[in-house]
Amino acid sequence: MKLILILFTLLSPLGANASKILFLGDSLTEGYGVQKSDSYPSQLQLLLNKKGLKVVVINAGSSGSTTASGPSRLRWHLKSAPKILVLALGGNDGLRGVKLESTKINLEKTITMAKGKGIRVILGGMKLPHNYGSEYRKKFENLFQTLASKHKVLFIPFMLKDVGGINSLNLPDGIHPNEKGHKIIARNILPIIIKALEVSQ
């Protein structure tokens, strides 16, 4: 089904002329537990449409993905010729206790590949639950800011801002946003998406 949707996007008249925004992420991006149309990339598409912007949002979220999959997945999606990449990977690395250096290397490879193809990059930051220990959490969160500064890419400090940890905006698992949560995420990141589009013109 994903392949069909991507091919439809590429072959449709709109897809051929519109700026494409690729969201490379995990289950949060994919929209785990909600309808695909309720995921934040789909909600963002609606917001951009309302502003009259000719944009196609490609949801390349895949549940369980870590940063290790970033370079190979981006390479595959380059065929869609995105103008903007929203790199929203890293949450699963943190939850699984992946070495921070490995996460850093994987994200850098993905960022470097995208920039090498002339793609505008937006890096999405993540935070970890308090039970992971203050030192590890702080280093994990700082990793994203450090990479954004080093590679001079646009930065979303926390993808789950105003949603993470709020029961009414998440599924019973306390990790994945519900429909309301996804709408808030879309509204929060809309300004930086518009900024990226303006720079990419």
Check pLDDT > 90 for residue 163.
yes
In a domain, 3, yes or no: no
What percentage of the chain carries pLDDT values higher than 90?
87
Active site (catalytic) residues: 27, 173, 176
In a domain, 25, yes or no: yes
Of 201 and 146, the one with more pLDDT: 146
State the CATH number of the domain containing residue 107. Answer: 3.40.50.1110
In a domain, 11, yes or no: no
Domain region containing 57: 19-200
Using one digit for the tens of pLDDT, what is the confidence trace for 108-157? 999 999 999 999 999 999 999 888 889 999 999 999 999 999 999 999 99
In a domain, 45, yes or no: yes
Check pLDDT > 50 for residue 12.
no
Q: How many domains does the chain have?
A: 1
CA–CA distance, 86 with 58 (Å, rounded to integer)? 10
pLDDT band at 92 (very low <50, low <70, confident <90, very high): very high
Q: Cα–Cα distances in Å, from 72 out to 22, 68, 113, 134?
A: 14, 8, 10, 32
Check pLDDT > 70 for residue 28.
yes
In a domain, 125, yes or no: yes
Check pLDDT > 90 for residue 81.
yes
Using one digit for the tens of pLDDT, what is the confidence trace for 44-75? 999 999 999 999 999 999 999 999 999 999 99
Can you tell me which residue has the tokens 């590429």?
Answer: 10
In a domain, 13, yes or no: no
The residues near 15 (Cβ < 8 Å, ≥ 6 apart) are: 8, 9, 56
Q: Output the pTM of the full model.
A: 0.90
In a domain, 5, yes or no: no
In a domain, 171, yes or no: yes
Nearest to 123 by CA among 102, 108, 101: 108
pLDDT reported for residue 168: 98
pLDDT reported for residue 201: 58
Check pLDDT > 50 for residue 8.
no
